């Protein structure tokens, strides 16, 4: 049947070190990271239980049985049907395991499920938590993971091309977002953001009825999922013409993005990398119009650790993957954001997306 993944072996080592009998992993992304089995069971219980005695159980709803039995997994499996108690089934399945001390995934396990689990194992201690262990384990990506992130990045570049080709006078944000999804035929990693003109200065706005006219700037911020890994990219373009002030805002964001991408190195703190970009924007006089962090980690999820933000003392290491996405949003004038995700290596930041960052002024199309 093969061996457990390295990620799961590290969890086993951690359990032994911490003298904890077993871990209960609740989050589907964590389960996929540790086992390779990627599924989403909505309101039904799915869990990975790992014993320090080198055993592991994938527990899932019975509707997952066919899929899970055809998946190459060296551990045990168990299932429950609707109407049965998943907690009783888990108890049966791990009856031979030591189960005095548990480490739960507190960042993901709901309070209701925690109470149900505790009621089934009344003598057990469930104080320990694996959330931080998993977060740290996922911080540095393996070369295989980096290759998947690069492949997802190539899809994101294509999505930007599709969006830009669809620009024409009168087209709405919602129409552009739908056109990208339709032509790309890839699972999005988050709802596609397209913001035109005034809306682009409103950072959190979803695609709406805003319609394109000459003189507008357009932000595309989108991503895809490929082989279980996420991409995320932003580009801002001009349509027909842009004003001198819009151009100045664009060039400031571009220089800020470049300063952080060129300057990031292992050994710097996340706060220092944030400052590389933020200083450029502040010195150009737009400091108050850059209200968000410079970036976020990316991997199996589109937002994960590390956060690249002011004041963060997290020391960056080679193998960490994150976004660099400064923005300036001036109400009534323009919103501009430029974003690449990439991997930090000893030589510096290597982006997963390569679409041009020169200011593009697209010709007017009727």
Report d(CA 176, CA 331) in Å as an integer.
22
Q: Residues in the site for Mn ion, rule: CB under 5 A?
A: 232, 323
What is the smallest separation between the CB atom of 352 and Mn ion, expressed in angstroms? 12
Give the pair of three-digit tokens for residue 324.
């660099």
Residue with tokens 């890994």: 229
- Rg of the chain over Cα atoms, rounded to whole angstroms, equals 23
Residue with tokens 């819009």: 246
User: 157: helix, coil or strand?
Assistant: helix
What is the smallest separation between the CB atom of 30 and Mn ion, expressed in angstroms? 21
What is the smallest separation between the CB atom of 232 and Mn ion, expressed in angstroms? 4
Q: Which residues of 210-225 are buried (b: 16+ CB within 10 A; e: fewer)?
A: bebeeebbbbbbbbbb
Report d(CA 241, CA 343) in Å as an integer.
35
Beta-bridge mates of residue 343: 321, 350
Q: Rounded to 5 degrees, what angle do the CA atoms 149, 23, 63 make?
A: 70
Judged by beta carbon, residue 166 or residue 338, the one nearer Mn ion is 338
Give the pair of three-digit tokens for residue 160.
């930007």
Q: Which residues contact 360 (CB under 8 A, 6 or more apart)?
A: 164, 237, 238
Q: Write down the H helix ranges in the chain.
A: 6-18, 28-35, 65-69, 86-93, 111-120, 131-137, 143-165, 173-184, 244-263, 270-283
What is the smallest separation between the CB atom of 292 and Mn ion, expressed in angstroms? 10
What is the smallest separation between the CB atom of 346 and Mn ion, expressed in angstroms? 24
What is the smallest separation between the CB atom of 138 and Mn ion, expressed in angstroms? 17
Would strands 295-297 and 101-104 be described as parallel, antiparallel, or unpaired? Answer: unpaired
What is the smallest separation between the CB atom of 365 and Mn ion, expressed in angstroms? 29
What is the smallest separation between the CB atom of 221 and Mn ion, expressed in angstroms? 7
What is the smallest separation between the CB atom of 200 and Mn ion, expressed in angstroms? 16
Report d(CA 272, CA 351) in Å as an integer.
19
Q: Which residues of 263-296 are buried (b: 16+ CB within 10 A; e: fewer)?
A: ebbeebbbbbbbbbbbebbeebebeebbeebbbb
Report d(CA 196, CA 149) in Å as an integer.
28
Number of residue whose CB is nearest Mn ion? 232
Judged by beta carbon, residue 48 or residue 139, the one nearer Mn ion is 139
What is the smallest separation between the CB atom of 233 and Mn ion, expressed in angstroms? 8
User: Exposed (0-12), middle (13-18) or buried (19+): which is 107, by Cβ within 10 Å?
Assistant: middle
Judged by beta carbon, residue 35 or residue 189, the one nearer Mn ion is 189
């Amino acid at each position: 049947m093969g061996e457990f993944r390295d990620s799961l072996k590290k969890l086993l080592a951690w359990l032994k070190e911490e003298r904890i009998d077993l871990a209960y992993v609740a989050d589907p992304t964590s389960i996929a990271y540790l086992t390779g089995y990627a599924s989403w069971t909505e309101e039904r219980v799915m869990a990975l239980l790992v014993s320090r005695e080198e055993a592991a159980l994938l527990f899932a709803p019975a509707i997952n049985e066919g899929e899970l039995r055809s998946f190459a997994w060296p551990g045990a499996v168990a299932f429950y049907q609707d109407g049965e108690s998943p907690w009783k089934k888990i108890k049966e399945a791990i009856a031979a395991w030591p189960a005095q001390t548990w480490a739960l995934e507190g960042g993901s396990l709901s309070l209701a499920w925690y109470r149900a689990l505790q009621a089934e194992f009344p003598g057990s201690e469930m104080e320990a938590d694996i959330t931080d262990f998993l977060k740290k384990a996922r911080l540095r990506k393996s070369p295989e993971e980096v290759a998947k992130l690069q492949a997802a990045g190539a899809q994101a570049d294509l999505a930007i091309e599709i969006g830009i080709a669809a620009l024409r006078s009168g087209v709405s944000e919602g129409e552009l977002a739908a056109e990208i999804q339709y032509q790309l035929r890839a699972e999005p990693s988050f709802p596609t953001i397209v913001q035109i003109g005034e809306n682009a200065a409103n950072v959190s706005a979803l695609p709406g009825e805003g319609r394109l006219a000459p003189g507008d700037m357009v932000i595309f911020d989108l991503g895809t999922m490929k082989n279980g890994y996420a991409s995320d990219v932003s580009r801002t373009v001009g349509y027909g013409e842009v004003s001198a002030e819009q151009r100045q805002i664009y060039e400031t964001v571009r220089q800020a993005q470049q300063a952080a991408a060129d300057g990031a190195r292992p050994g710097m703190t996340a706060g220092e990398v944030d400052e590389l970009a933020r200083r450029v924007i502040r010195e150009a006089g737009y400091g108050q119009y850059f209200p968000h962090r410079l970036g976020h980690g990316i991997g199996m999820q589109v937002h994960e650790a590390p956060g690249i933000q002011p004041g963060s003392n997290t020391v960056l290491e080679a193998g960490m993957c994150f976004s660099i996405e400064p923005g300036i949003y001036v109400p009534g004038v323009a919103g501009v954001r430029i974003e690449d995700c990439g991997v930090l290596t000893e030589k510096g930041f290597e982006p997963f997306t390569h679409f041009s960052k020169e200011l593009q002024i697209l010709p007017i199309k009727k």
